[in-house]
Structure 1
Amino acid sequence: MSGFKRVLIILASVATVLALAVGGGALWLYSGAKVSTVGRGDFRNELAVPPLAESTVTADGTRVFDLRMQAGETEFQDGQKTPTWGFNGSYLGPTLRAERGEKVQVRVRNTLAEASNVHWHGMHLPATMDGGPQRMIAPGTTWSPSWKITQPAATLWYHPHPMGETEDHVQRGLAGMFILDDTASRALALPDTYGVNDLPVIVQDTKFDGARFVHAHGLTRTVGFLGDRTMVNGTLDPYKEVGDERVRLRLLNASTARTYDFGFDDSREFSLIGTDGGLLEKAAATDRIQLSPGERAEIVVRVRPGERTVLRSYPLDIGQDFYNQRFNGGDDTFDILELRAKKQLRRSPALPTALGKPEVPDGSHAVRGRSFDLALPGINGHKMNMGRVDETVTRGTTEIWTIRNNNGMPHNFHIHGLQFTVLSVNGREPRPALRGAKDTVFLPSGTTVKLAMRFDGPADPDTPYMYHCHLLSHEDQGMMGQFVVVEKGRKAGRPAATHTHQGH
C-alpha cells in the first residue's frame, strides 16, 4: 500500500471518528435536554401564600399602598440561603387588592443598590403611571403613581421593566399579584376566600447551583432562560391542603421564557372562568390551559374528600422542529403543585351559568389596521429606541392589529395600558382560552393573530405605552416598540429617552 493511500485511510478514519463523536455529542445533548420532574418531588413544603398588602385610605378616598424594593436572602432549600430581591420582603411581593371605582396610589421606594422600576401589567392607567422602561426609580428614591381603577375584576400583576435588564430583575424575585374586584364579581357564587379556596399560583421555573440561582441561558436556548424545576409563590415542591369542594386557582406564568400547558395528573376537567383581563361570559370546561410568560388564567377545580391531585405542566407544541422543540422546553413536564383535600370538605355551590361580559371591542368599529412582524432583535425590523415613537393612535378609537411570527422561534405579544380581543389565530376562531379579555398572547413560529383594541386614553403625546415580546430575554434584546395616544388630529410629541425618578 502506498504512503498516499495510507494517509487517505488515516484521514478517512479520523473523519469517521470525529463524525461519530459529533453525532454522539449531539445525541447526548438532545437526550439530556428533556426535563421531567414527575415523581421526583415529594411535595414536602407547604405553599406560601403572599400576604395581602396593607393599605390606608386618605381623606379624599385614595387607597394607598407601600412597596419597598429590597435585597435579601431566601431559604428555598434547607440550610441554603439564596441572594434574592423582593417587595416588602426577601422574595416576591404582597398581593395588592383594590376595587373598581377606587383611586389608588402606590408609593414604591427603591432600597436596592441600582435603579429599577415597576410596571402594572394588565392595568388600564395613564402612560405616566404605567412604569415602562422610560420611568426608572433611582436607588434611595420613591415613585408614587396614582390612578383610578376603571376596569372589571381581574387577576393582574406587577414586575420591573428596566431596559435590557427585565429578565434579571424578575428572576431575582421582583414580582407580585394585583387583584381587582368589582360589585358584579362579588355577587357571583365563586370561591372567594383569599388563601383558602381562592389561591394565587405564581409559577416560575428556576435552577440552582448550590444556594445560588443560575441565570445562564445555555447555547441552545433561543427563547431565553429555562430552569430544571419549578416553584409556586417562591415555594419548591409545594402542597396546599384545601377544605372546600371547589378551589379557585389564579394562575400566573411569571417565568421569563417558559410556556406551560397546565392540567392535572389524572387529566380531570376543570372550569376556566377568567383570562388576563377578567371573567369570561361563561365557564369553559377543559383539561388543559396554556400560558406563556405574563399570561394569567383563573380556573376552578373540584376535589373529592381525602384525595390528592397534582397540577402539572405537560409538553406542548411551540411551533419548532423536533430539535428546537426539545431545546426550548416544548418536551418538558413539571409537577407544579399538589392539592390535598381534607377528609371532610365544605360544600361549594355550583358555578354560575353566567359570569360577566368582557369589556373589549369586537373589531366591528375599527378605524384602521396595523401590522407587526416579530423577528429578533426587533419588531418590524426595528430594535427598541426610547427616543422614537413607533405608532400614534387616536384616543377613543378601535383598531385591528395583525401580529405575525415567522421567526423560527416562539414569541408572544403584550400591549400596555389596555385589554384586547383575539379575533383569529391563523384565520380561525380562537380556542376558548383566548376568547376573553387579553393583554398577552402566545405566537409559536408560523402564527398570525388578529387583535381588536380600543384606546380609551388618556391622551398624552409625549409619554408612550409599550408593546413587546414578553419572553424577557427577547424584550431585553430590543423586541419592543412604543405608541402614544393623542386626541384626534394631533401628532406625537418627543418622548424623553429615559426618565430616572430622583424624588424623595
Structure 2
Amino acid sequence: MLKKTKTLGYNGNYLGPVVELKKGKTVTIRTVNRLSEATTSHWHGLVVPSSVDGGPHQVVKAGETKVVKFKVKQNESTLWFHPHPMGKTAEQVYKGLAGLLYVKDEKTKETMLPQKYGENDIPLILQDRKVKNRNVLGYADVEKTDGALGDTLLVNGTINPYFNVKYSQLRVRLINGSNARNYVVKLSDGSSFKKIADDGGYISKPKNVKKIELSPGERIEVLVDFSKRKIGETVSFETNGVRVVNFKLKDKQGTNLSALAPKSGYEKPLKTLSTVNQKLTLFGMGKNVEINGKKFDETRIDIKAKQGETEIWEVYNKKDMMGGMTHPFHIHGVQFKVLERNGQKLDNQETGLKDTIAIKPDERVKIQMTFKEKGVFMYHCHILEHEENGMMGQLKVD
C-alpha cells in the first residue's frame, strides 16, 4: 500500500515556483511561515546585504510573516533559494523547501540565447531521495552520517521525466539541490554540448564539454544542439548510469547557433591579485567536521573584511586517515572567481563567477572576490549535514 510522504514547499506541496528578478529593480518578497517550526529564506547566490540574505540570523518563527526588500544588482544568472535555520536546514531542504531564482537583464535581449521558459529554456533540479516499497522515506528514516543520500533520482520533484524538444537548440539550467550527493552529467550518446554559464552568470567564452560535475549548491547552464538530429530521435542526460531526463525531438524551430554567444551580461575579467588574505582548512567527516580546527559558534566572528576590498582566499581540504571526502565550499553574499586548483591556473574566460566550489581531498584552491555588501555572512560546506555539524564560519564585512 502506498503512503503519502510528508513534504514541504513554497506556495505548494513540494519545491517552489521559479522567481524571476530583473537587474536594477527593487524587489519585495513576503514570506509567511505556515510551518510548525522556524525557518529562513536564503537567496543562494544573490549579492545582497546580510540583513536580507536569509541566513541563520534572519529567522521567521512559526506563524510569523517577514518582508525583505533589496535591489538586484548582478548580471543574468541562475540562482536558488532554500531555508537556512540552525539545526533544521538539511531536513527542511530534504522535505522539499527549495526553488529557483532567475536574474534577467533587459540589456542582454540582443543575444540569441534560448529564453522561452518551459519551451527552449528549462531548469532541472537534481535531488536524490530514499525510496522503499515505492514510498519516499522521510528524513528521519534516512542514513545521513555524511549527508542524506538517496537511491532514487528526482528531477523537478518527479521520477523519470521526459521533455519534448521543439527547437534546434535547448538551454538547460542544471541545479544540484541534493543534501550531499555529487553528480557527473553527460549525454547518453557521448556527444558534446556547450557550457555557457556558471553559478554567477555567463562565461565569456562558451566551452564544448562532454560532461559536467555538480556538487551540492552548484548550478551550470548548457546548450544542447539538436539541429543535426532527426525528428523523433531521443537522447538523454545521464548521471552515474541513471537517466536524468529524456529529450525527444519533435520539431526543429531554428536558432542560429553561431549567434548564441552572449555579447554582454558576463562579468569582465578582474585584475588578478597575488597576495593571499585568508587561509582556510576544511577537515573531517560525519560529526567530526571543522574549519581551521573550529566548529561553528554563532557568537564568534571568524573573518573580518572591508566593503569594496578584494581578497584572495586559499581553501584546503585536508585528508584524514580514511582519505576524506569532497566538500562543496559556499560563501554567502559574494561571487568569486577561481584562480587556481593545486597551483594550476585556470582560464577565467571558460570559468565564470561562482559562489560554491567542490574541493576534493588534499586539493587546494585559490579564489578571489570583492565584498560589495555589508553585514555578517556565512561560509560553509554545502553538504547540509556537515554545515549543521559545525563546518561553518562567519564573515563580517564593515
Tell me if TM exceeds 0.5.
yes
Contact 1:400 1:450 in 2 (8 A): yes
Q: Structure 1 CA distance, aligned partners of 2:245 and 2:339?
A: 33
Residue in 1 that maps onto 2:205: 282
Deviation track 1:8-29 (CA, whole Å, cap 9, x = no partner) reads xxxxxxxxxxxxxxxxxxxxxx
Q: Which has the larger radius of gyration?
A: 1
Matches within 5 A, 1:438-453: 438-453=354-369
Q: 1:451 to 1:397 in 2, by over 3 A?
A: same
For 1:391, which of 303, 316, 322 is the aligned residue? 303
Deviation track 1:401-437 (CA, whole Å, cap 9, x = no partner) reads 0000013121110000110000001111337797111
Contact 1:129 1:147 in 2 (8 A): yes
How far 1:136 moved relative to its partner? 1.1
Deviation track 1:368-422 (CA, whole Å, cap 9, x = no partner) reads 5100000132111111111111111011100000000013121110000110000
- Secondary structure (helix, strand or coil) at the match of 2:73 reads coil
- Secondary structure (helix, strand or coil) at the match of 1:258 reads coil
For 2:292, which of 375, 380, 386 is the aligned residue? 380
Matches within 5 A, 1:90-109: 90-109=13-32
Residue in 1 that maps onto 2:235: 309
1:348 lines up with 2:255 in the alignment: yes
Q: Structure 2 CA distance, aligned partners of 1:287 and 1:383?
A: 39
5+ long unaligned stretches in structure 2: none
Matches within 5 A, 1:8-407: 80-210=3-133, 211-215=135-139, 216=141, 218=143, 223-303=146-226, 304=229, 305-314=231-240, 333-342=241-250, 344-350=251-257, 351-356=259-264, 358-359=266-267, 362=270, 364-365=272-273, 369-376=277-284, 377-407=289-319
How far 1:167 moved relative to its partner? 1.1
1:454 lines up with 2:377 in the alignment: no
How far 1:165 moved relative to its partner? 1.9
- Cα RMSD (Å) of the superposition? 1.9
Which residue identity does 1:272 align to in structure 2? Answer: K
Higher helix content, 1 or 2: 1
- Secondary structure (helix, strand or coil) at the match of 1:125 reads coil
5+ long unaligned stretches in structure 1: 1-77, 315-332, 487-504
Which residue identity does 1:213 align to in structure 2? Answer: L
Deviation track 1:283-318 (CA, whole Å, cap 9, x = no partner) reads 10011110100000000101222111111113xxxx
Q: Structure 2 CA distance, aligned partners of 1:366 and 1:131?
A: 32
Which residue identity does 2:245 align to in structure 1? Answer: L
Q: 1:112 to 1:360 in 2, by over 3 A?
A: farther
- Secondary structure (helix, strand or coil) at the match of 2:124 reads strand
Identical positions, percent: 39
- Secondary structure (helix, strand or coil) at the match of 2:6 reads strand
Q: Structure 1 CA distance, aligned partners of 2:148 and 2:110?
A: 42
Residue in 1 that maps onto 2:326: 410
Q: Structure 2 CA distance, aligned partners of 1:355 and 1:213?
A: 47
Q: Structure 1 CA distance, aligned partners of 2:214 and 2:268?
A: 20
Q: What is the TM-score when the length of structure 1 is the normalising length?
A: 0.73
Residue in 2 that maps onto 1:426: 342
Q: Structure 2 CA distance, aligned partners of 1:360 and 1:165?
A: 38
How far 1:282 moved relative to its partner? 2.0
Aligned length: 384
1:472 lines up with 2:380 in the alignment: no
Contact 1:372 1:380 in 2 (8 A): yes
